[in-house]
Amino acid sequence: MKKEKDKKEEEVTNSSEEGKDEINDNTNNQEISDGEDNSSDKSSDKNAEIASRLEKELTEEKDRFIRMYADFENYKKRTSAEKESIYVNAVAQTVAEILPIADNLERALSSSDDDSPLKKGVEMVLSQLNSALMKLGVESYGEKGDVFNPNLHEAVMHGEDSEFEENTISEVFNKGYRLKDKIIRHAVVKVVN
């Protein structure tokens, strides 16, 4: 009996030690799982921080890209306008040198009364010159009866004329020419007071 009693005590002792070991294991496991929770919380915080930083960087890069794109579009518009301006100025300078020739051809036609072949030749040359100017986009302006505009016309004479209203062009000495918005030469005119 004593042996049985000793065996039972040993079993109880062993089982209590095993129970203690299990409790210790459970406690250790719980501590480990708490540590894992802490580390998972830390890693999720770290991931959220990284995601936030990356989103911020992405937003900054998008803004930078949008600004660069807008700058590039403005650059394209500016260079296009500069090219157009250079073209208009080059054509205007060239046409300004040719205009005295057109004026002389018109004077030659107005001074000749006969229908000579020379007059017909001058008319043809003047017609070709006017056609070439039109192809370049050059317009002539300044006709009798037009209202005087100091931005377009140069008044060299003032006078009275019952045929025209006040501030009206009564005589044109030289036609004015313009290319788009650029005045190549102002029309030289006489204005009615």
**Rg from Cα positions in the chain:** 49
Distance (Å) of CA 165 to CA 123, 175, 190: 32, 20, 13
**Average pLDDT for 152-174:** 91
Query: Contacts from 163-167 at CB under 8 Å and sequence distance 24+?
Result: 164/192, 165/192, 166/192, 166/193, 167/191, 167/192
Distance of CA 189 to the CA centre of its chain: 41
CATH class in words for 141-193: mainly beta
| Separation of alpha carbons 175 and 149, rounded Å | 14
Residue spans in the chain of domains classed CATH 3.90.20.20: 2-136
CB 158 within 8 A of CB 169: no
Residue scoring higher pLDDT (165 or 79):
79
Q: What's the pLDDT at 180? A: 87
Q: What's the pLDDT at 110? A: 87
Bridge-based pairing state of the strands 182-185 and 187-192 = unpaired
Q: Which CATH number fits domain 2-136: 3.90.20.20, 3.20.20.80, 3.40.50.620, 3.40.50.720?
A: 3.90.20.20
CB 99 within 8 A of CB 52: no
Phi and psi dihedrals of 26, rounded to 5? -65, -40
Q: What's the pLDDT at 27? A: 47
Nearest-5° Cα angle at 127, 122 to 131? 150
pTM for the model stands at: 0.63
Percent of the residues in the chain that have a pLDDT greater than 70, as a whole number: 79
Is the pLDDT reported for residue 111 higher than 50? Answer: yes
Residue spans in the chain of domains classed CATH 2.30.22.10: 141-193
Task: Give the DSSP letter string of 107-162.
Answer: HHHHH--S--HHHHHHHHHHHHHHHHHHHTTEEEE--TTPBP-TTTEEEEEEE--T
